[in-house]
Structures are given as C-alpha cells and as structure tokens.
Structure 1
Amino acid sequence: MVALEEKPNIETRLLCILKALCVYLNEDPEDLVKTYMDADVGAEKEFEKVVLGVYIVEHQHADASDSLEDFGIIIDGIAVLQDLKHIPTGWALLLGLIYCLDQRFR
C-alpha cells in the first residue's frame, strides 16, 4: 500500500482506479487482476485456472515508484499478450480482445 505522503507513479494510480471500478461494479478486483512476484515459480499453475484476467509481475523488493516487471492478459489459462509495459495499453487491448471474441462467437 502506498503511504499518503508518497507520490505514486502513474501505473499505481491507474491500477487503483481500475480496481476501484471493479469494486463499484460489485466485482472482486482480485478475480480480474492477479499480482505475482518475479521469483514466484507457481504462477504458471495459477494461470491455468484463470478464464479471463490480467496479470502483473512485480520485482521482489520493489517499492511503489518502481515500474512493473511484466503486465499481460490471460484468456482460458494462456497468456495471450505479455511484456506490456503500460497498464492503460493493456486494458485497451483487453477490451479489444473481449469485443473481438464476442463478435466471433455470436
């Protein structure tokens, strides 16, 4: 959690806004956004359980001002997009994928 006197970077602010949107829509943000550490070897097994979501990999000893190690999108247990460095780009791509898959299977 970021202390009030610290100024968080833009990725932290955007992630807080997107998690707040999930809460506003009565959804659990942990169901959509999964956060892992870069040394977590069991993350690949947890990917298999995710139907649709976003994963974030952070450095082991990173603070709130550091950038993310990895950011990607999981669909049906497979990381379909990875190494995205900006959270807004990843969310836009996620919405685009949802739209394309919805149109494809109608």
Structure 2
Amino acid sequence: MPLQSRFLSQLDVHSEKLLKMFKNRGGQIGRRLGGIIAPMDEDDDVDLGRECVIKALCVYLNEDPENLLREYVAADESLLQESIEETTMGIYVWKHRDDSEKPEDIGIVLESQIVMQDMDSVPLAAAMLFGLIYSLNLNYPAELKYTFEVLQKVVMELEGNALSKKPKS
C-alpha cells in the first residue's frame, strides 16, 4: 500500500466530516477546536488544513497535540536538542523567527533519536510516523493512543473497523 498517497488522500476524504464534528462540539473543547481549525479559513494551503485536522483530532479525542507535534523557534536550538532527548515518539517543527516562512526543518523522533528529517510538511511527517510505528510494530504512545487508532482504522482502513469506546463517541 502506498503510505504517503493513501494517508493524505484518505485524510482529505474524511476531513469534511471531521471538521463538521469539530464545529459541532461545544464547551471548552469546542472553543479549543475552533482555535485550531481557524487558520484553515484564512489560508487555502492544503498541508496547513491537513495539519489543523490532525491537531484537532487529538483535541477532539481529549489528547494533547503537543504530544504529537512540537514547534520550536530557530533560536532555541539547545531547547530543541533537549526536547528531542526527552521525546519517546513525535514530530518536531523547527521554525524561523518569522512564523510566515516555511519551517527550517520538520522531522520525526523515535526513542530520543531523529530518525527522519527535512520532511516537506507536518501531514507527511504524520504519515511517515504512522508508517514507522506500524511497520516496526511499535505500541502507540499512551498519550496518543486514540488518535493513532483513528488514523489506523478510519483513515488508513487497516485491521478492522472496531474502535475502542473513546473514538466512537
């Protein structure tokens, strides 16, 4: 199965329904979701939209998107290295001071080691991280269990349709 094209195209297929769910969510989580998906209204960038959907999915499932994706400013190189050493699994984005520019680097960390870098976008990095977890038969990180379960079973349509109770709600 072609991981990159399948992941990104299926994410696009499900995005409309996911966005509708996010917009219908009320309360504090609904306000947080609104803030995460707001950049999609201002920018037509497909990758930005996919990134917003992935982050919002984490929040919708009551998981912290910071556990999946951490952003750093270019001046914080030592902070980036410290954080990588403390990271079991995740994606990092190293940006310039000017937020409008393309990130300097996007990469994947497994077991405190950068295993992939110079990725084109956060959604691509999420697809590659999912692929690494799946192909290396790693357990999903406990703090992102439901997010990865939805990516596996709903987006990628792998290993059955039965979701645990939390993603069904």
Same fold (TM over 0.5): yes
Q: Which residue of 1 aligns with 2:137?
A: 102
Tell me how many residue pairs correspond in the alignment.
Answer: 101
One-letter amino acid of the structure 1 residue matched with residue 67 of structure 2? D
Counting only pairs closer than 5 Å after superposition, residues 37-56 of structure 1 correspond to structure 2 as: 37-41=73-77, 42-56=79-93
Give the one of 92, 97, 106 matched to 2:127: 92
Residue aligned with 1:12, SS:
helix
Check conservation: 2:40, 2:48, Cα contact below 8 A.
Answer: no
Unmatched segments (≥5 aa) in structure 1: none
Give the CA deviation at 1:14: 1.8
Would you tell me which structure has more strand in proportion to its own residues?
A: 1
Q: Answer whether contact 1:54 1:74 (CA < 8 A) is retained.
A: yes
- In 2, are the aligned partners of 1:68 and 1:85 still within 8 Å (CA)? no
Residues 101 and 37 of structure 1: is their aligned pair in 2 closer, same or farther, counting only changes over 3 Å?
Answer: same
**TM-score if structure 1 supplies the norm length?**
0.81
Considering only CA atoms, is the larger Rg found in Structure 1 or Structure 2?
A: 2
Identity rate, percent: 37
Partner of 2:105: 70
Structure 1 or 2: more helix by fraction: 2
Shift of 1:87: 2.5
After superposing on structure 2, the runs of 4+ consecutive aligned residues of structure 1 that deviate more than 4 Å are 1-5
Q: 2 CA distance for matches of 1:57 and 1:23?
A: 22
Residue 34 of structure 1: aligned partner:
70
Change in 2 beyond 3 A, CA 1:9/1:68: farther
Task: Give the partner amino acid of 1:45.
Answer: E
The TM-score with structure 2 as length reference comes to 0.53
1:12-71 CA-to-partner distances (Å, cap 9, x unmatched) read 2222111011112221111111100112122101111111101011111132xx322211
Report if the CA contact (8 A) 1:57-1:69 is conserved. yes
1:23 maps to which residue?
59
